[in-house]
Chain A
């Protein structure tokens, strides 16, 4: 958060990563503004971790470039890495050390001296204080994950990237983690998150990129993605199957054993939909209105792309 600089927190230009004949990234362009809570979504193998690795300097791109807070991750790698905190996807730890030792050492790697007050604050916020002097080996998976988060934050990086941080972490722990990350975001840190839990992205992220086979197939605010891909749906159960009039047929999104779902834009449309159904001879047994969710959006986009 260098003052007077409001360029993007992350800028990815034409990122290509080739693993032999496999293209893990097939030309990704992306800009993430400072202060955003950004979601990077996509099925397994989409290239999310590869993109994060390139961002963090763990992988070198075959083509293209990436900058963090205006610093190129290859040419100005020292400055770029100082701006970045990465929570890796794999649950890795160093079995030789205690939690506090790990955090002190990690601070030193980033050139931060006398980091005790911030380390204590991290431990407190991540519910790790009681484990501060425990060896890493003795911690549960969820606790190791939280230590990874703390390690990524020792140098108070303006940009924080979390690669599936809640995989295999219990619900209570997730809440602790998100509360803390939201606090950091409110304090001005840019957050980039990949997750498999779509409701998480929906609840937290202001903007989302969907990745598939190394390409960005959608990039918009969470609200817009939800609006575009799946409008509200009216779900009805009818007694006997009927022949749908054309006006209804084009609004039909799902037909499962007598359960029909129709999309609609405005609540006024519900009346018309129901009236048309009755006119076509349908006997309604159940009516339900469902809100759009990211899961539908996700499935919709993935099948189209």
Chain B
């Protein structure tokens, strides 16, 4: 238990010490998205009858920040430790693979939530969106953060070089988040692309999270919850198995 807590503390301290880059920078990016898209699209995009576009956009951006930063935290921590070699400091002690997984995932969720909160606070001058069902919003933030934290561990362990990790991020994580309905409701898409979106677990995370804010969503929040939970379990099993075997960590 002490080992787990210490590893969690170390992972949290790691991003907090460089919060300017790990929290400040992503908050600024999201605020830029918010300013530009809400200015340009507010009068053109119609999503739900009862929700203004700027309001619609904010939960999406918050959740996108949660997801991307959760991924970023575990993946960059692991690849840095692997490349600099200081990964031995966590491989030598009697830390079980479950503790290892738990600590990296929870630290990732923490970073995701901190950045998400930052984005939400920074959005207040633009629009004050209320949270209709806070528990739904929280559940999706936690599960989504956990899933991306898990993917981050998988990617961080798999990648041998920074550019492999960047490829994972640019060709998997970015497209999946961009095509998840952050900037639009998928009902405004042609049927084919609506179908494609339903194969994207990120869509359900964003949609479910948004339900927490407005009480309206593209699909039932229970369906979203189910999809996200199943996806998380699948990735967690893959990740835990990699860690148990010591894949790429213990030759």
Residues of A within 8 A of B10 (CB): 105, 108
A55 to chain B, nearest CB (A): 11
In the bound complex, how far is the Cα of B1 from the Cα of A93, in angstroms?
24
Q: Which residues, 64 to 115 on B, are CB-close (under 8 Å) to A?
A: 81, 84-86, 88-96
In the bound complex, how far is the Cα of B251 from the Cα of A19, in angstroms?
9
* A76 (CB) vs chain B CBs: closest residue: B94
**Residue of A78, A93, A108 touching B96 (CB-CB under 8 A):** A78
How many chain A residues have a CB neighbour from B under 8 Å?
33
| B84 and A92 form a contact (CB under 8 A) | yes
Q: Which of A82-90, A186-194, A230-238, A261-269 lies at the binding interface?
A: A82-90
**Residue of B9, B13, B92 touching A56 (CB-CB under 8 A):** B92
Q: Which residues, 81 to 113 on A, are CB-close (under 8 Å) to B?
A: 81-82, 84, 86, 88, 90, 92-97, 101, 105-113
**Residue of A58, A79, A90, A93 touching B251 (CB-CB under 8 A):** A58
- List the count of A-B residue pairs having beta carbons below 8 Å apart: 80
B14 interface hit (Cβ, 8 Å)? yes
**Residue of B9, B18, B88, B246 touching A92 (CB-CB under 8 A):** B88
**Residue of A59, A79, A81, A86 touching B250 (CB-CB under 8 A):** A59
In the bound complex, how far is the Cα of B81 from the Cα of A57, in angstroms?
17
| A96 and B13 form a contact (CB under 8 A) | yes
| A88 and B13 form a contact (CB under 8 A) | no
Residues of B within 8 A of A113 (CB): 2
- Seed contacts A92-B84, A92-B89, A110-B93; 14 additional CB < 8 Å A-B pairs: A57-B92, A58-B250, A78-B96, A84-B92, A86-B88, A86-B92, A88-B85, A88-B88, A93-B86, A94-B84, A94-B86, A94-B89, A96-B18, A110-B94
Q: List 8 A-B contacts (CB under 8 A).
A: A19-B251, A58-B92, A92-B85, A92-B88, A94-B89, A97-B13, A108-B6, A109-B90
Q: Which 8 residue pairs across A and B have the least CB separation, nearest first? A: A108-B6, A109-B93, A78-B94, A92-B85, A81-B94, A111-B2, A92-B86, A59-B251
